[in-house]
Structure 1
Amino acid sequence: MAKHLEFGKLGESEAQEFLRLQGYQILQLNWRYKHWEIDIIAKEGDILAFIEVKSRSSTDYGEPFQFVDLKKQKNLIRAAGVFLKKINHQGDVRFDIVSVYNRDGKKDISLVKDAFWGRYS
C-alpha cells in the first residue's frame, strides 16, 4: 500500500477511537456508493453523523478540515442522501469532520461538529 494511503488509514483508525471516546457509536466504515465514499457513519445519541476524516502531517497548506472543499461536501451530501433512503432514516443528521494532525509522533485530533449543511435529495 502506498505510504499516503497507509497514513490515511492510520488517521481513520485514530479518528474511530477518538469518536468512540466521545460517545459515538460507529455504524459503518468506508461506506461506498458508486464513486462516493463516507469515511465513518456513526450515531451520537439520536443524531446520525456522516463523518469525513482528514489526516495531515503538516499544516503548511492549512488545517486538515480545510481540505473538505465544496466539491467534497456535495459528494458527501449526495452519498448521505442515498444512505438515508436505503435505511429509511427519519431523524436528525449532520456532517462532521475529524482532523488528524500527526507529525513527529505528536498527535492532535479535533472534531468539527455540524461542519456544513446540505439537502439530501
Structure 2
Amino acid sequence: MAAHNESGKKAEEMAAEWLQGKGYELIETNYRYKHAEIDLIMKYRGLLIFVEVKYRSGTGFGYAEEFVDYTKKKLLVKAADAYIHESDWHKDIRFDIVGVYKDRSGAINFRHFEDAFY
C-alpha cells in the first residue's frame, strides 16, 4: 500500500476513535458503491452521519474541507443513497467532514465540519 494510502487509513481510524469519544457510534467503515467510498458511517443523536475524512500533514496547501469538491460530494451522495436504501433508513441524515492534521511537533489535531454539504 502506498504511504499516502496508509496515512489516510490511519487518519480514518483516528477520526473514528475521536468521534466515538464524542458519543458517536461507528456503523461501518469504507462503504463502497460503484466508484464512491464513504470513509465512516456513524450514528449520533438519531442521525445517520456520512463522514469524509481528510488527512493533512500541514495546512500549507489548504485545509481538508477545501479538498472535497463538487464531484466528490456528488459521489458521496450517490453512495449514501445506496446505503440508505440497503439499510432501509427512514430518519434524518447528515454529511460531515473531519480534517485530521499533524502539526510540526507531530501532534494530531481534528477539525469537524458538521452538516458540511448536501
Shorter-chain TM-score tier: over 0.9
Amino acid aligned to 1:58: G
Count of equivalent residues = 117
Determine helix, strand or coil for the equivalent of 1:8. helix
Q: Which residue of 2 aligns with 1:108?
A: 109
Residues 1:33 and 2:33 aligned together: yes
Residues 1:75 and 2:75 aligned together: yes
Amino acid aligned to 1:116: F
Query: Identity rate of aligned residues, in percent?
Result: 44
**Gapped regions of structure 1 (runs ≥ 5):** none
Amino acid aligned to 1:73: K
TM-score for the superposition, normalised by structure 1: 0.93
**2:50–2:94 Cα contact (<8 Å) kept:** yes
Amino acid aligned to 2:94: R
Give the Cα separation in 2 of the matches to 1:87 and 1:3: 33
Amino acid aligned to 2:46: D
Amino acid aligned to 1:49: I
**Gapped regions of structure 2 (runs ≥ 5):** none
Task: Provide the alpha-carbon RMSD of the alignment.
Answer: 0.9
> Which 4+ runs in 1 deviate beyond 2 A?
none
Amino acid aligned to 2:51: I
Structural mapping, 1:1-121, within 5 Å: 1-104=1-104, 105-117=106-118
TM-score for the superposition, normalised by structure 2: 0.95
Amino acid aligned to 2:93: V
- Structure with greater strand percent: 1
